[in-house]
Amino acid sequence: MGGKAKRKYTEQAYREAYASVREFAEIVYEIAKRQHLREQKLKKHPKGFHLEEDGSIYNCIICHRQISGKSGWWDKLGQKCLDCQRNIKEGVIPAKICQNDDLVIKNWQLRSNYGLHWSTVRKLRREGVLKGRDLKTKDGTIYFTVYLVSENKEFLKKYPKKPVMGSKM
């Protein structure tokens, strides 16, 4: 034992590898080009602008809803749905959470990272142990809740984050 196995590659394998790398490079180039064009457009529209109407679909960086074209907004903070953009503008949530995920605990993380059932989350909110910021649509419907780490120190002491389960190689 201990010897290295020598593997011979066929010309077909090299061609497939080359095609995969080339395709990946083209995708990265298109993303960089789109990012550059948006940054240039942001110079003309510093408050932001709607996403391009090119059929592309993105996710809001806050609530992760799918957005595209007129349903999406781009500014120096990144891409957001119009509801999240409005909630930031109205001061419901601070803009800095767009650039630092460590400042917030999102709904889904309460279950996966803290092991809490939804009924427990509701109970903790009623008791004031867990303080959430409800994001609402224009008509007042709650569509997402964000929990700021800075407002939930007591919760974080009582409910530490569960260790991440990972697979060992």
- List the beta bridge partners of residue 73: 50, 80
Phi, psi for 61 (deg, rounded to 5): -75, -10
Q: Report residue 51's pLDDT band, with 50, 70 and 90 as the boundaries.
A: confident
* Length of the chain as a residue count: 169
Q: Report residue 38's pLDDT band, with 50, 70 and 90 as the boundaries.
A: confident
Max alpha carbon distance in the chain (Å)?
Answer: 69
Give me the percent of the chain exceeding a pLDDT of 70.
Answer: 93
Contacts of 99 (CB under 8 A, 6+ apart): 77, 78
The amino acid at 141: T
Looking at residue 65, its pLDDT comes to 94
Q: Average pLDDT for residues 34-44, to the nearest whole number? A: 88
Cβ 101 vs Cβ 64: under 8 Å? no
Give me the percent of the chain exceeding a pLDDT of 90.
Answer: 65
Q: Residue 2 pLDDT more than 60?
A: no
DSSP annotation string for 8-72: PPPHHHHHHHHHHHHHHHHHHHHHHHHHHHHHHHHHH-TT-EEPPSSS--EE-TTT--EE-GGGE
Considering the chain, what is the average pLDDT of its residues?
90
Looking at residue 69, its pLDDT comes to 86
